[in-house]
């Protein structure tokens, strides 16, 4: 579908022209008419498929074409889970609003609260926010949402995870106008427990899902390497990251402290590298992301704060140094490459400690990954054996006697048996080999 066929306001068509787009992506073709019709919406499509415009354009149209319900309250609020994504969405919105009389502000943690208060006093039409800080302003009565017309949750499943849900509920109940429309967007909507809050926030929503379940993302080539221990993993990463041409890459780690450690190590391999994590000051976070987006360094090492939504065209490679605990995050992390029709490569390094997460990811994606091997760095690790299910004994005397009679002499498990080929299923409980991987002491971080 072409953008000119949606019946958009001319100002919107001009903005789209400036972006250089003519044809809508599939999710845009399907979601925009629903949103324009005023319906609530649950919309999902793969990473990099243009969801941002799928919600921003109808939001603009509504504001341009209809009278405000309230003169002072914001008309549109977009909620996103991280500050980096808030900045990106806000940047896109600003571009679209350029030259119009409509105003927008960015409300996020880590920035000056009083400055935000002053901006709120100017009654902006659009707010892009991380939820925690918006709730702080609501509590201080710096902003009222009674007149809110459109509430959008980007990365909705992440927004409804523990830690965010309460803030989202508070925003929802502050924005109780019966004419309010609500849109949820994500690449992963049906696999987490979105439905409960969705039923609180959405009224008879339309469902637009592009792609069946978790179809392979055709533009992202997945590679898996099994690793024996931390040093082995680092050696494999070194080969992968220095042995090919990398435009830009993101390396994901489980812990904040690992981002700095790995960044230093990769820098030592001759690639310009910086670390991003929630312990950095907001100014430092902004600087890292701005210079990465400008291509001023090659490798970004980050926790999951960079896993959602970030759209940087020259990210050619993603490396999972550790696998994420939540299977959906695998989809989001690897989706930082292969965007808007470009190709990308994603590498996952799977050690014994990652095995449980790896099997969960395979189950989530309903897909098996073959592993690759680098010559000279062949792994001994072949996967962990699933724990045997606890046997229920029939304790009647007859059964006990029969069992004793057939009991074999105990056998010592050989080293080989601990590892096992990964074709087997059943990933709920594994015995881990002796600890050779450090246990994460700090976890990935997020912005509430």
Interacting residues toward ligand ADP by CB under 6 A: 21, 23-25, 28, 47-53, 309, 311, 339-340
For the bound state, the minimum distance from the C-beta of residue 335 to ligand ADP, rounded and expressed in Å, comes to: 7
- Residue 24: which of ligand ADP, Mg ion, none does it interact with, CB under 5 to 8 A by kind? ligand ADP
Query: Quick count: other Cβ atoms within 10 Å of Cβ 418?
Result: 17
Smaller CB separation from ligand ADP, 93 or 327:
93
Q: Does 75 bind Mg ion (CB under 5 A)?
A: no
Residue range at the interface with Mg ion (CB under 5 A); choices 233-241, 304-312, 348-356, 437-445: 304-312
Smaller CB separation from ligand ADP, 83 or 256:
83
Smaller CB separation from ligand ADP, 53 or 152:
53
- Residue 53: which of ligand ADP, Mg ion, none does it interact with, CB under 5 to 8 A by kind? ligand ADP
For the bound state, the minimum distance from the C-beta of residue 131 to ligand ADP, rounded and expressed in Å, comes to: 18
Half-sphere exposure of 78 (CA within 13 A, CB side): 33
Closest CA to 438 of 178, 173, 257: 257
Smaller CB separation from Mg ion, 278 or 309:
309
For the bound state, the minimum distance from the C-beta of residue 189 to ligand ADP, rounded and expressed in Å, comes to: 12
Smaller CB separation from Mg ion, 31 or 385:
31
For the bound state, the minimum distance from the C-beta of residue 247 to ligand ADP, rounded and expressed in Å, comes to: 15
For the bound state, the minimum distance from the C-beta of residue 87 to ligand ADP, rounded and expressed in Å, comes to: 13
For the bound state, the minimum distance from the C-beta of residue 338 to ligand ADP, rounded and expressed in Å, comes to: 10
Smaller CB separation from ligand ADP, 51 or 333:
51
Separation between Cα atoms, residue 96 and residue 286, nearest integer Å: 22
Smaller CB separation from ligand ADP, 22 or 394:
22
- Classify burial at 136, counting beta carbons within 10 Å of its beta carbon; exposed 0-12, middle 13-18, buried 19 or more: middle
Separation between Cα atoms, residue 366 and residue 370, nearest integer Å: 13
Query: Quick count: other Cβ atoms within 10 Å of Cβ 270?
Result: 10
Smaller CB separation from Mg ion, 155 or 258:
155
Alpha carbon dihedral 22, 26, 32, 35, in 10-degree steps, equals -170
For the bound state, the minimum distance from the C-beta of residue 308 to Mg ion, rounded and expressed in Å, comes to: 8
- Residue 428: which of Mg ion, ligand ADP, none does it interact with, CB under 5 to 8 A by kind? none
Closest CA to 266 of 283, 252, 281: 252
Which of 109, 205, 309, 386 touches Mg ion (CB under 5 A)? 309
- Residue 340: which of ligand ADP, Mg ion, none does it interact with, CB under 5 to 8 A by kind? ligand ADP
- Residue 47: which of ligand ADP, Mg ion, none does it interact with, CB under 5 to 8 A by kind? ligand ADP
Smaller CB separation from Mg ion, 310 or 350:
310
Instruction: Give residue 396's region: left, alpha or beta (phi > 0; psi -120 to 50).
Output: beta
Separation between Cα atoms, residue 337 and residue 415, nearest integer Å: 39
- Classify burial at 94, counting beta carbons within 10 Å of its beta carbon; exposed 0-12, middle 13-18, buried 19 or more: middle
For the bound state, the minimum distance from the C-beta of residue 92 to ligand ADP, rounded and expressed in Å, comes to: 7
The set of residues, in sequence order, having a beta carbon less than 8 Å from that of 22 and lying 6+ positions away, is 2, 3, 16
Q: What angle do CA 319, 323, 324 make, to 5 degrees?
A: 115
- Residue 351: which of ligand ADP, Mg ion, none does it interact with, CB under 5 to 8 A by kind? none
- Residue 339: which of Mg ion, ligand ADP, none does it interact with, CB under 5 to 8 A by kind? ligand ADP
Smaller CB separation from ligand ADP, 317 or 356:
317
Q: Residues 243-282 vs Mg ion: string with x where CB under 5 A?
A: ----------------------------------------
Smaller CB separation from ligand ADP, 89 or 171:
89
Total number of residues that touch Mg ion (CB under 5 A): 2
Q: Residues 27-66 vs Mg ion: string with x where CB under 5 A?
A: ------------------------x---------------
Residues that bind Mg ion (CB under 5 A): 51, 309
């Amino acid at each position: 579908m072409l953008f000119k066929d949606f019946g958009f306001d001319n100002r919107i068509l001009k903005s789209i022209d400036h972006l250089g787009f003519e044809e809508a992506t599939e999710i845009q073709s399907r979601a925009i008419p629903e949103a324009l019709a005023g319906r609530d919406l649950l919309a999902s499509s793969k990473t990099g498929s243009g969801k941002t415009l799928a919600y921003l354009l109808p939001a603009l149209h509504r504001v341009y074409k209809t009278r405000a319900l309230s003169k002072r309250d914001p008309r549109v609020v977009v909620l996103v889970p991280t500050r980096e994504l808030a900045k990106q969405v806000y940047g896109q919105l600003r571009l679209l609003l350029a030259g119009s009389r409509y105003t927008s502000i960015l409300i996020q943690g880590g920035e000056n609260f009083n400055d935000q208060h002053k901006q709120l006093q100017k009654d902006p039409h659009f707010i892009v926010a991380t939820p925690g800080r918006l709730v702080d302003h609501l509590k201080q009565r710096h902003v009222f949402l009674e007149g809110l017309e459109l509430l959008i949750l980007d990365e909705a499943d992440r927004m409804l995870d523990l830690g965010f849900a309460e803030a989202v509920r508070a925003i929802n109940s502050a924005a109780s106008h019966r004419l309010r429309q609500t849109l949820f967007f994500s690449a992963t909507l049906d696999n987490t427990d979105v439905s409960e809050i969705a039923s609180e926030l959405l009224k008879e929503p339309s469902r637009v899902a592009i792609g069946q379940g978790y179809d392979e993302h055709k533009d992202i080539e997945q590679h898996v390497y099994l690793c024996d221990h931390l040093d082995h993993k680092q050696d494999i990463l070194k080969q992968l990251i220095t042995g090919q041409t990398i435009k830009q890459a993101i390396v994901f780690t489980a812990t904040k402290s690992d981002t700095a450690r790995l960044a230093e190590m990769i820098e030592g391999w001759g690639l310009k590298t910086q670390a991003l994590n929630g312990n950095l000051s907001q100014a430092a976070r902004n600087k890292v992301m701005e210079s990465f987006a400008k291509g001023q360094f090659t490798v970004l090492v980050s926790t999951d704060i960079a896993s959602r939504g970030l759209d940087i065209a020259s990210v050619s490679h993603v490396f999972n140094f550790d696998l994420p605990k939540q299977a959906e995050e695998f989809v989001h992390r690897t989706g930082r490459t292969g965007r808007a029709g470009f190709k990308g490569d994603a590498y996952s390094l799977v050690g014994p400690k990652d095995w449980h997460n790896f099997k969960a990811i395979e189950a989530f994606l309903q897909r098996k990954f073959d592993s690759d091997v680098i010559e000279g760095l062949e792994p001994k690790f072949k996967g962990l054996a699933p724990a045997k299910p606890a046997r229920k004994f029939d304790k009647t005397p007859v059964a006990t006697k029969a069992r004793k009679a057939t009991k074999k002499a105990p056998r010592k498990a050989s080293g080989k048996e601990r590892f096992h080929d990964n074709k087997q299923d059943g990933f709920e409980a594994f015995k881990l080999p002796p600890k050779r991987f450090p246990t994460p002491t700090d976890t990935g971080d997020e912005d509430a």
